[in-house]
Amino acid sequence: MPTTATIRTQIEAALAHKIPSALTPAPKMIRPVAETGIQSLDNLLQGGLPIGAISELVGPECSGRTDIALSFVAHLTQASKVCAWIDASNNFDPVSAAAAGVDLERLLWVRCGAVQEAEKRPARTFVLPDRYLVPRPAKQGLHGGGCGAHPRGEAKGLSGAVSDLLGPQSFAPRCAEPQRRAREERPSFVASDEPTAVTSRRYVPTSKPWGRIEQALGAADLLLQGGGFSGVVLDMAGLAPEFVSRIQLSTWFRYRAAAERTQSSVLLLTQHPCAKSSAELLLLLQPAEVISNDATVFTGIQPHVEVTRRRFAPNTSNVVLLRKPPKNVTGVTWDCRTAWAGAR
């Protein structure tokens, strides 16, 4: 009777032309990493962001997601590598990027939805000839207009002019007359133990961003298929989640395959996770707290990030513990200083 190993070998040999290694599990792939430039985050990720994969940074506004992307791009450009920033919301600020240490000569900025300013036409000057400014001489006689208009025409519109002139005084109530006032209804408050839900206000554009999303996805396809970029940042953080979540999963799968082939690090900035299983690393950022060391000057924020999902993490040790291992640290906080405050 053949053994299990023999049967598995025979099945794999029969399906080799259709499904290579059908019954053999895929080997665990540990990807190389690139430093982000933030020491505490690099220690948490055991080196940095993976190369040749998609890393998704999810968080609300003022959470530090752009700071991580700028620090990562600055670290790559300072190492003489070329990066690309696909700005789907047209919110990228080159001055802030340069202050963060990004070499703008090695950064390709793709602006999606940018409106080209119309060319200003030279203003035409019109000068009226002097002969039209000279008044015509008055005609003499009854029919020439010398004696003025008919008396009946002088009273036209007089009643309307007088009523408009004396309207507020004639219809305003006198001090002795009673004035009617609408009774204002006072709001009634009912005590409740349930917490009150506070909705966050954010700017919602009036036009739907389908055109900008299509431009951003097309630009990402061209850059990843062409290669040559060590880092590609797809910034969709300014778009509402209901629009970004409608992107097909096949798009992210195609980006993952292209990034693996070209060995490019793809950073996806969103408000809600949308890449699903195509993302190698998922970082969830919480609303940052303001640094309160200096009470009079705003000096920066303290972002907090947590590792929500990571496909393959490198093993630091091959020792198998008999007891239950301690819980791994999945979150970290660091200080993000402003340009005028400097590093401390």
Evaluate whether residue 177 is within a structural domain: no
Widest Cα–Cα separation across the chain: 136
Distance CA 212, CA 234 (A): 12
Predicted local confidence at residue 11, as pLDDT = 84
- To 10 degrees, the CA torsion angle through 94, 98, 101, 104? 70
Rg (CA), the chain: 35
Evaluate whether residue 188 is within a structural domain: no
One-letter amino acid for residue 137 of the chain: P
**14 — phi, psi (to 5°)?**
-75, -30
One-letter amino acid for residue 191 of the chain: A
DSSP states along 314-325: --S--PPPSSPP
CA-angle at 287, arms to 286 and 288, nearest 5°: 105
The token duo for 236 is 């969709």
Evaluate whether residue 131 is within a structural domain: no
Evaluate whether residue 81 is within a structural domain: yes
Report helix, strand or coil for 101.
coil
CA-angle at 291, arms to 290 and 292, nearest 5°: 105
Q: Helices in the chain by DSSP H: which ranges?
A: 4-14, 39-44, 65-78, 94-99, 151-154, 158-171, 210-226, 241-244, 249-262
Predicted local confidence at residue 202, as pLDDT = 45
Domain range enclosing 281 = 35-112+205-312+320-337
What is each CA distance from 50 to 128, 319, 339, in whole angstroms?
72, 25, 28
Evaluate whether residue 135 is within a structural domain: no
Distance CA 179, CA 44 (A): 72
Predicted local confidence at residue 233, as pLDDT = 97
Judge contact between 287 and 303, C-beta under 8 A: no
Instruction: Report the candidate in 44, 55, 82 with the shortest Cα–Cα distance to residue 314.
Output: 44
* Average pLDDT of adjacent 10-residue blocks, the chain of 344 residues: 81 80 70 92 92 95 92 95 94 92 95 66 71 71 56 69 60 60 67 54 61 94 94 95 93 95 95 93 92 76 91 64 68 84 63
Distance CA 93, CA 72 (A): 16
Judge contact between 328 and 310, C-beta under 8 A: no
Q: What CATH number does residue 81 fall under? A: 3.40.50.300
Evaluate whether residue 50 is within a structural domain: yes
One-letter amino acid for residue 40 of the chain: S
E strand or H helix that includes residue 33:
strand 33-34
Evaluate whether residue 196 is within a structural domain: no
Evaluate whether residue 42 is within a structural domain: yes
Domain count, the chain: 1
Distance CA 87, CA 235 (A): 5
Predicted local confidence at residue 28, as pLDDT = 66
Distance CA 163, CA 181 (A): 26
